[in-house]
Structure 1
Amino acid sequence: MKNDFEENMADIMIGEAVTALLDEDVAISWAALTDRLQSAIENETDEDRIRAGLRAIEEVRREMQIRGSEKTGVASLTEQKLH
């Protein structure tokens, strides 16, 4: 049950980070997304959101590795655009 909650909260935090980047008219990249998630948990006091934020960062990094192995030589992983 706790894993489901953390997974859902991680998805919500990723959505919040993407929405914030779009609102600020920032190009969405793996680096921008991980930076935004890191910023979100730095001043967070809720332990559930901190754990979920760390899980979200892990998910994004895992996806970066998967996508990076599919697209070698195109751009560095931190520069690849998501949209």
Structure 2
Amino acid sequence: MARHELLKIEERETISRELSRHKSARYIGQMLGRHHSTISREIDRNGGATAISCGRGAATPRGEPGTSERTKTRGVAAAS
């Protein structure tokens, strides 16, 4: 399977700009010469169309402590 070129920062900025104009992944992909699924995966990876177009996408690196959106809770232990 061939390795594909990563998205450049300019392409990511274009994705963000076009999403704020309510353009589709297919439209953006056609503009950039990329497959629409590449654009869609980039959008999903960075929090969805709303997060990216509002400037909230990829605010913190993945896996960093304290970046979890929800806290993990444990069930109450059964009394012995």
TM-score normalised per structure 2: 0.34
TM-score normalised per structure 1: 0.33
Which has the larger share of helix?
Answer: 1
